Structure 1
Amino acid sequence: MTVRLSEISVGDPLPELSVALVRSDLVRYAGASGDFNPIHWNERFAKEVGLPDVIAHGMLTMAVAGRLVSAWTGDPGSIVRYGVRFTRPVIVPDDDTGAVVELSGKIAKINEDGTVKVTITAKSADQGVLGGASATVRIPA
């Protein structure tokens, strides 16, 4: 999808996105990132440290949420700023379904320089998992 500045308004929603994460995704992400913390793959260890189950890497959750914006703009390179606060972990059960991260967003501001601020909502198991998530993107006029 290619978005044009002339086609959008403040308050417009972005197309929603749902992303499923299963345990094998966590293993692949651990290999790519080098983050082999056992809370992301070892259920026994995760429970021993007080978690309800294995959790997704925070940075993986952040990356998944960023897909909402890059899918909307059609160009990952259009994202000039992106930030989130991690508010709750994404718990990934050991089954075929895993966890689903539900993503939505809306246009919060159109800046004078032609960039657009997008606010992002990320939920898993009906609970917010990211706070203050927003991206600034540059899109063609």
Structure 2
Amino acid sequence: MKRLALPLTLLAALPATAQTGDSDRYAYSQLRDPAQEAKARDLMEELRCLVCQGQSIADSDADMAADMRALVRERIAAGEKPDDIRRWLIERYGDYVTYDPPLGWATAPLWLAPFLLLGAGIWLATRSIRRRRR
């Protein structure tokens, strides 16, 4: 049994070392073409990290963000357009993945809340000013 311990331990650790080199390379380095890297960078700034929730995938250190950065760079390097990549990610992860969700029934409160709060603030301010004048 002791003879099998080391081979079984190494066998169990094998999936952890099975990552592709391209994924790591694209996650933490830039594309060679500056124009392609600029497109990838702009798109990465617009996409939300699904783990951190407050950072873009360009700023996040989470493994999920690294995977998404690699995916964006791989697809940009393959000639895919940023809008197509964004659409694919939205289909896969939902509207939450983008900082600019489309207007729809589910996202209407997100778009209307700032205007409602601004209107409430103006209403409270004018009401307060009228009271002070009396």
Q: Same fold (TM over 0.5)?
A: no
More strand by share: 1
TM-score tier by shorter-chain length is under 0.3
Q: Which has the higher contact order (CA 8 A, sep 6+)?
A: 1
More helix by share: 2
- Higher Cα Rg, which structure: 2
